[in-house]
Amino acid sequence: MMKNLVIGQSGGPTAVINASLYGAVKAFRESGADGHVLGMINGIEGFLADHVMDLSTDLSDEELELLKLTPAAYLGSCRYKLPADLDSEVYPAIFDNFREMNIGYFLYVGGNDSMDTVDKLSRYAEKIGSDVKFIGIPKTIDNDLVLTDHTPGFGSAAKYVASTVREIVLDASVYQQRSVTIVEIMGRHAGWLTAASRLARKYEGDNPCLIYLPETPFSLEQFYNDLDAAFKKSPNLVVCVSEGIADEGGTFVCEYSDAAKLDSFGHKMLTGCGEVLESFVRDKFGVKVRSIELNVNQRCSGMMVSETDIEEAAMAGAAGVKAVLAGETKKMIAFKRDSDMPYKMHCTPEDVSLICNQEKKFPKEWINAAGNDITDDFSAYALPLIQGEPKRVMENGVPKYLYRK
């Protein structure tokens, strides 16, 4: 009997979440299955409000190709956590929609929280004896999902970070006067993306000279000593830090200024750790100092996407369709690495209940003993993920992307 597939995007945007959507739509079309692919507008939250579009009919082949290279989340996203209690009335509402829309297959592209959604819906289906199948497609620039070698979105974000930091290093080195440039990179709990700044370093002694991740306790005293030592070798220092660096006691560095810093309206200002460290350096060294927050473009830029990442994200979408049509459920498509050089990997479904709500930290053994640099082992791991550049589609001098009006 003909069944439709519904797919949604959830959590923060990445450069390749739409490539997974592309891969899924394309694979479903090519599978010969005679249902439609429906897209949830704004994830499960929108789906609850019957907000869907028909991706089988509403996207031309040309638009589908453009979708593959479009960053952010074409369908819109949500941050909606399903209730832990499977007796909640939300579940029957969702499954009523499945019946009404004749849904047999459910794909959800996202990170930790989205995998939690896949897990809960699978368990509810089990509970009520529904035969709807649920598969998660991984997506996060944080690269913090367990049971997968890496996640789609990380490679492009890592390539953007490495390339951007390389350019910041050039920019920071033009004057003779001593200076410190602090680059704050996304990563609240895991340092994967900040570690990618290591790939910007071209020779021994080159910038970035210091890299700090949340996995090592941060101390202002060590930071002072590290900078002092680095100034003996070079006048212009570039330092990369994760937004989530914290001290031995677990206090985030970005919280250091909370007490002192009020805005003109009397409220606490939200400060990044980069700004806190900027003030510290200005105070202690009296040199020119600047902090740069890479901000949302590190996750959503199409300017420096990795072709490897794009292709793998599409592959994950296609693998999700294949798995769900084969009757698999309660799984996430994981990546297994077969070799570094030449780089080879394949997709395999893993139990989503073992993945959701878990966090894969950056390995301690890839951080140097002093806790201020990344080892070459990480480079060997990360380099294959940032290779290749797809041909960009331009319109009037800016990248052409697909959007819902």
CA separation for the pair 217, 195 (Å, rounded): 15
CA separation for the pair 383, 226 (Å, rounded): 27
CA separation for the pair 40, 20 (Å, rounded): 14
Q: Hey, which residues does 179 pair with through a beta bridge?
A: 236, 288
Span of 25-33, 42-50, 211-219, 362-370 interacting with a second copy by CB under 8 A: 42-50
Minimum distance of a second copy from residue 128's CB (angstroms):
28
Residues 357-376 that bind a second copy (CB under 8 A): none
Minimum distance of a second copy from residue 105's CB (angstroms):
23
| Terminal CA-CA length for the chain | 34
CA separation for the pair 130, 330 (Å, rounded): 13
Residues 179-198 that bind a second copy (CB under 8 A): none
> Catalytic site residue 142?
yes
Near a second copy by CB under 8 A: residue from 54, 58, 62, 79 = 79
Whether the CB-CB separation of 53 and 41 falls below 8 Å is answered with yes
Which CB, 200 or 356, lies closer to a second copy?
Answer: 200
Selected catalytic residue, list 116, 119, 142, 226: 142
Span of 119-127, 160-168, 244-252, 327-335 interacting with a second copy by CB under 8 A: 160-168
CA separation for the pair 306, 27 (Å, rounded): 22
Residue 394, phi then psi, degrees to nearest 5: -115, 155
Minimum distance of a second copy from residue 133's CB (angstroms):
26
Strand (E) or helix (H) holding 252: none
Minimum distance of a second copy from residue 132's CB (angstroms):
25
Residues sharing a CB contact under 8 Å with residue 347, sequence separation 6 or more, in sequence order: 315, 316, 319, 333, 334, 335, 336
Whether the CB-CB separation of 37 and 109 falls below 8 Å is answered with no
Does residue number 203 form part of the binding site for a second copy (CB under 8 A)? yes
Near a second copy by CB under 8 A: residue from 47, 98, 192, 280 = 280
DSSP-assigned letter for residue 149: S
Minimum distance of a second copy from residue 253's CB (angstroms):
10
Near a second copy by CB under 8 A: residue from 31, 56, 102, 163 = 163
Residues 3-22 that bind a second copy (CB under 8 A): 9, 13
Does residue number 229 form part of the binding site for a second copy (CB under 8 A)? no
Residue type, 114: S
Binding mask 291-330 for a second copy (x = CB under 8 A): -xx-xxx-xxxxxx-x------------------------
Near a second copy by CB under 8 A: residue from 93, 262, 354, 370 = 262
Does residue number 341 form part of the binding site for a second copy (CB under 8 A)? no
Minimum distance of a second copy from residue 71's CB (angstroms):
6
Whether the CB-CB separation of 70 and 313 falls below 8 Å is answered with no
User: Active-site residue numbers?
Assistant: 142
